[in-house]
Chains A and B, each alone.
Chain A
Amino acid sequence: MNDNNTSPPLNYLTNGHTVKSWLLTVDHKRIGVLYLIAMTCFFLVGATAATLFRLELATHNANVLANDTYNRLFTMHGIIMVFFFLIPAVPGVLGNFLVPLMIGAKDVAFPRLNLASWYIYMLGGLFTLAAIIGGGIDTGWTFYTPYSSVYADSHVILAGTGVFITGFSSILTGLNFIVTIHKMRAPGLTWMRLPLFIWAQYSTAIINVLGTPVLAITLLLVLAERVLGFGIFDPQKGGDPVLYQHMFWFYSHPAVYIMILPGFGVVSEVLACFSRKRIYGYEFVAFSSLAIAAIGFFVWGHHMFTSSQSPYAGLIFSILTYLVGIPTAIKIFNWTATLYKGSVELSAPMLYTLGFIGLFLVGGLTGLFLATKALNVHLHDTYFVVAHFHYVMVGGMMMAWLAGLHFWWPKMFGKLYNEFWARVGAVIIFFGFNFTFFPQFIAGYMGMPRRYHVYDIEYQPFQMLSTAGAFFMGIGLIICLVTLVSSIFTGRPSGKNPWKATGLEWNYASSPPDTHNFTVPVKVDVEAYDYTDERIYQDA
């Protein structure tokens, strides 16, 4: 492999250099890279918005932004981060890259459809960017009616259309993954031998296929109301805005699992590798993903405890929300048990993963606080909620995403990043994150409402801490970005399996993989995460 006398064999990156060879590719690995590039750009847009309104919030009065600009910035932050980063990040990038490699297939089941998904995603993104450039949207990412339908004086139509279109990209990617995982596994790769990353992608794909169409039709009804004046959610015509909320959250609560389940998958892979142990209770971790996907469809009403929803319905939603905590807790316990007597190595991906477990634990438990009806009335729409979902989305999902990105980076680009700086980045992000969001729990508990631009001076210390923490986190992210990108140019070649990990992607495919993934026939005869298997320790 490192023989310099012969030119290296073509891999998926070197097989074709033209722009056209990238934009018309049907190779799942290249499509994964396309998602990575697009998604990083969207992330930077969303982060810029956050930087601006975080600056504004440092003091209690308005001195950086006008109130309308502030509204538009936090809306843009929410829409971009949720629909264009969190939801497609792990499936779009890591899922596309890894699902066929992990199951020993040459590609996903429908390669052209896969490329179409990326174009749909980009088209949705362009609509949303157009809305932003045209002046933004001020409804909040939830598009609540009648605000979004009647009263908002901003580009709801463009942004709504953008989100509507992007939804189909999720649906089609989900469909592709389900079929791929069902029909294209290598000989010997039974369901109970699958990596947990695959189980997680599979569960996510189910939610994508069954949940996203409901969001699509809901947004369509809002657009019909705004464009044509149909008034399905308009109280003046007898419509019910709470119906909108039901339909919106029927998708958007499961969407939380669309965001976090793929992260769970990443965590299982990284944790097993750097503890050098099989995931404790593999079956439980696998089926808990499916359980979360299933129960997650029946908890949406916990977003509406303070609306006109019946209190009895609220009670049931509250209980069901506790219930979904059980499979989630099973995962956390099993991951922790995996560490026990493992041979733990604190590499950069592992630091992110351990950070994930701690932060997601906080995010998940505060979710149970919010699922408690009586407490919810006090905490509803406060910074407590903001802190809670950022612990889940950023502390959970983003940490898992960064863990996965570091972990599979050598596989994707064939280069090792600088381990020292990667660890520095991970540690700074972890502390920066806590400085940013922990104070918001306290401010929220004291009663500070979310989405306010000018606020009571007693909350200022918390908001200042938050802003300072956010800049700290930003520095961490920049270090992380620079470390990864520079490794492409200056990193040492990683070799096939730098972490000595189990899994077909590490042991059968080179780094970066061949265009058709495998040069030898793949056959599986062992369980997942068999770290006693001698074969993974022999370098090819």
Chain B
Amino acid sequence: MSHAAATTDHEHKPYQQHHFESMEQQTQSTLLGIWLFMAQEILFFGGLFTAYTVYRILYPQAWAMGAGTQNVFLGMVNTIVLIGSSLSIVLAVHSARHNDKKGILKWFALTLLLGLVFFGVKAVEYGTKWEHQLVPGLNWDDHHALHTIQEHAPKGVEVTELPKGIQLYYSLYFVMTGMHALHMIIGFGLAIWIMIKAARGRFNAEYYPHVEYFGLYWHFVDIVWIFLFPLLYLV
């Protein structure tokens, strides 16, 4: 940043940006900014959860049967994977606090790896839905969908026709998990950027805001999944 024309005579710390009066002001500002960003994220997903709630109340049958076709085991695996990645990012922050550059890189790499596992599993799940022609608009097939739902129906329950609103269930499933995945992809980009910074030794025990705030972001993305999993798989 520019260091032109310092007009006041107070000393600037190396990490303090010129337009802040003190390091404390800078830290507090950034933290407030991050929380406001989270607030807008909540509202963003809030729109989706609203649509979810409205249609779930309107079409409980569709929701029950749609959730029945989900692979709960894979969903569970992904939940555990994401919780693991949250843990590893906590350890990255911990390393940063102790000025451990290698630790930051190691735990970030593990976070990314777990993220990739999540995507792998997600790809399998999306792929199965595509095969079963359960993607509304793109390859939806009533006949095939009915067949899949019958297969997954609990014993003793006979399904003779598609429940009303079943396509809405799958539409919301794809939009909600898709938006979540998009946030993870953005997280990947941020993580790589921070790893480069860390590798260049830009952080130390007094200064590691990027690591810390990335941790907050990643936790947020995980929490969204913690909501999505029961709402879409377990009902």
Contacts and interface: CB of A to CB of B under 8 A. Distances in A.
B33 A243 contact: no
Given A171-B40, A214-B46, A224 B33 contact: no
Nearest to A100: B19
Contacts of B47: 213-214, 216-218, 221, 247
A243 B29 contact: no
Interface string A160-196: 0000000000010001101110111000000000000
Interface string A224-265: 110011111000011110010001000000000000000000
Q: Which of the four size classes fits the interface of chain A? A: 35 or more
A180 B195 CA distance: 29
A105 B36 CA distance: 20
A301 to B, nearest CB: 14
B29 A184 contact: yes
B128 interface: no
Contacts of B153: none
Contacts of A516: 5, 7
A33 to B, nearest CB: 18
Given A175-B33, A230-B175, A183 B28 contact: yes
B14 interface: no
A82 interface: no
A106 B18 contact: yes
A94 B20 CA distance: 22
Given A175-B37, A212-B40, A217-B47, A107 B136 contact: no
Interface string B115-140: 00000000000000000000011100
B76 interface: no
A337 interface: no
B137 A230 contact: yes
Contact of B32 (A182, A232, A240): A182
Contacts of B39: 209-210
B168 A217 contact: no
B167 to A, nearest CB: 4
B165 A238 contact: yes
Closest CB pairs A-B (n = 4): A229-B137, A238-B165, A217-B47, A213-B44
A230 B174 contact: yes
A98 to B, nearest CB: 16
Interface string B36-58: 11011101111110110011001
Interface string B162-175: 00111110011011
13 contacts: A109-B30, A175-B40, A178-B32, A179-B29, A180-B29, A209-B36, A217-B179, A229-B138, A232-B168, A237-B167, A237-B168, A238-B168, A521-B8
A354 B41 CA distance: 40
* Residue from the set B36, B37, B50 with the largest chain A CB neighbour count within 10 Å: B36
Decide if the interface of chain B is mainly helix, strand, loop or mixed. Answer: helix
A18 to B, nearest CB: 15
Contacts of B25: 183-184
B40 A238 contact: no
Contacts of A230: 136-137, 167, 171, 174-175
A366 interface: no
A179 B58 contact: no
Interface in B137-167: 137-138, 164-167
B50 A247 contact: yes
Given A209-B40, A237-B136, 4 more contacts: A179-B36, A221-B47, A232-B171, A232-B175
Contacts of B50: 247
A179 B37 CA distance: 11
Contacts of A237: 136, 165, 167-168, 171
A493 interface: no
A224 to B, nearest CB: 6
B59 interface: yes
A144 interface: no
B32 A183 contact: yes
A387 B198 CA distance: 58
Contact of B33 (A179, A212, A225, A231): A179
Contacts of B138: 228-229
Contacts of B45: 217
A181 to B, nearest CB: 10
A121 B54 CA distance: 33
A166 to B, nearest CB: 15
A156 to B, nearest CB: 16
Contacts of B41: 213
A293 to B, nearest CB: 14
